[in-house]
Homo-oligomer: A and B are copies of this chain.
Amino acid sequence: MMDEGEHVLIIGADAAGLKTAARLRRLKPELPITVLDRSDVISYAACGFPYYLSGDIDDFSELTRTAWGEDKTPQYFHDSKNIEVLTGWDAIRIERDPNQVIARNVDGMERPFPFTRLVLATGASPIKLSIPGSDCRLVSSFTRPEEVQALRLSLQKNEVGRVAVIGGGYIGLELCEAFAALWGVEVLLVEQRVRVMSANLDPEISRLVEDHLRSEGVDVRLQTTLKHIKCRDDELVLTLSEGEEQHVDRVVFCPGVLPNAQLAQDAGLTIGPKGGVQVDKHGRTSDLDVYAAGDCAELPDVAGTRLIPLGSIANRMGRVVANHIAGVPDPGIPKLFGTGVVKVFDLNVASTGLSAARARQRGLDVEEYWGCWTDRAHYYPEAQSIKIKVVRERHGQLLGMQAIGKGEVVRWVDAFAQILDLADGDPRALLRFEHAYAPPYATALDPLHHFGAMMETGDGWQIAPTMMLGGGNHDWTWIDLLADEEREPLELPEVRGKVLRMTTAELREKVDTLPKQDVYLFCARGPRSYECCRFLRQHGINARYLAGGIAFTLG
Q: Which residues of A contact B (CB under 8 A)?
A: 15, 26, 29, 45, 47-48, 51, 56-57, 62-63, 65, 67-70, 79-82, 170, 310-312, 314-316, 319, 331, 334, 336-337, 339-343, 348, 350-352, 374, 377-381, 408, 410-411, 413-415, 417-419, 421-423, 428-429, 431-442, 444-446, 449, 453, 483, 485-486, 503-505, 508, 523-525, 527-528, 531, 534-535, 538-539
- The answer to whether A414 touches B432, judged by C-beta atoms less than 8 angstroms apart, is no
- The answer to whether A432 touches B437, judged by C-beta atoms less than 8 angstroms apart, is no
For residue A442, which residues in chain B have a CB less than 8 angstroms away from its CB?
312, 341, 410
A415 contacts which of B374, B418, B431, B525 (Cβ < 8 Å)?
B418
Give the residue name and chain of the B residue nearest to A429 (CB).
Answer: B422
A341 contacts which of B343, B351, B437, B505 (Cβ < 8 Å)?
B437
Bound-state Cα–Cα, A312 to B415, Å: 17
- The answer to whether B422 touches A68, judged by C-beta atoms less than 8 angstroms apart, is no
What is the CB-to-nearest-CB distance from A14 to chain B, in angstroms, rounded to a whole number? Answer: 11
What is the CB-to-nearest-CB distance from A510 to chain B, in angstroms, rounded to a whole number? Answer: 13
A68 contacts which of B48, B423, B528 (Cβ < 8 Å)?
B528
Given contacts A62-B379, A379-B45, contact A534 B26 (CB under 8 A): yes
Interface centre among A70, A81, A434 (most CB of B within 10 A): A434
- The answer to whether B378 touches A67, judged by C-beta atoms less than 8 angstroms apart, is yes
Q: A29-B538, A421-B432 are in contact. List 19 more A-B contacts (CB 8 A).
A: A26-B531, A47-B377, A47-B444, A51-B381, A57-B380, A68-B525, A69-B485, A80-B505, A310-B437, A315-B445, A316-B449, A336-B434, A339-B437, A340-B438, A410-B436, A414-B433, A414-B436, A418-B422, A419-B422
What is the CB-to-nearest-CB distance from A318 to chain B, in angstroms, rounded to a whole number? Answer: 10
Interface centre among A68, A351, A423, A483 (most CB of B within 10 A): A68
- The answer to whether A341 touches B377, judged by C-beta atoms less than 8 angstroms apart, is no
Bound-state Cα–Cα, A380 to B341, Å: 15
Bound-state Cα–Cα, A302 to B493, Å: 53
- The answer to whether A69 touches B449, judged by C-beta atoms less than 8 angstroms apart, is no
For residue A508, which residues in chain B have a CB less than 8 angstroms away from its CB?
79-80, 82
- The answer to whether B438 touches A504, judged by C-beta atoms less than 8 angstroms apart, is no
Give the residue name and chain of the B residue nearest to A377 (CB).
Answer: B48
Given contacts A69-B483, A435-B339, contact A380 B48 (CB under 8 A): yes
Bound-state Cα–Cα, A42 to B438, Å: 20
For residue A539, which residues in chain B have a CB less than 8 angstroms away from its CB?
29
For residue A531, which residues in chain B have a CB less than 8 angstroms away from its CB?
26, 81
A312 contacts which of B81, B342, B422, B437 (Cβ < 8 Å)?
B437
What is the CB-to-nearest-CB distance from A433 to chain B, in angstroms, rounded to a whole number? Answer: 7
Interface centre among A63, A81, A417, A418 (most CB of B within 10 A): A418
Interface centre among A331, A348, A415, A432 (most CB of B within 10 A): A432
A439 contacts which of B47, B417, B419 (Cβ < 8 Å)?
B47
Bound-state Cα–Cα, A445 to B436, Å: 23
- The answer to whether A377 touches B435, judged by C-beta atoms less than 8 angstroms apart, is no
For residue A414, which residues in chain B have a CB less than 8 angstroms away from its CB?
411, 414-415, 433, 435-436
In the complex, 8 of the A-B residue pairs with CB atoms within 8 angstroms, ordered by the A residue number, are A45-B377, A48-B377, A51-B439, A80-B508, A312-B437, A315-B444, A315-B445, A348-B441
Given contacts A68-B486, A334-B432, contact A379 B411 (CB under 8 A): no
Give the residue name and chain of the B residue nearest to A456 (CB).
Answer: B328
- The answer to whether A343 touches B440, judged by C-beta atoms less than 8 angstroms apart, is yes
Bound-state Cα–Cα, A56 to B324, Å: 54
What is the CB-to-nearest-CB distance from A328 to chain B, in angstroms, rounded to a whole number? Answer: 8
Bound-state Cα–Cα, A444 to B310, Å: 9
- The answer to whether B524 touches A434, judged by C-beta atoms less than 8 angstroms apart, is no
- The answer to whether A483 touches B423, judged by C-beta atoms less than 8 angstroms apart, is no
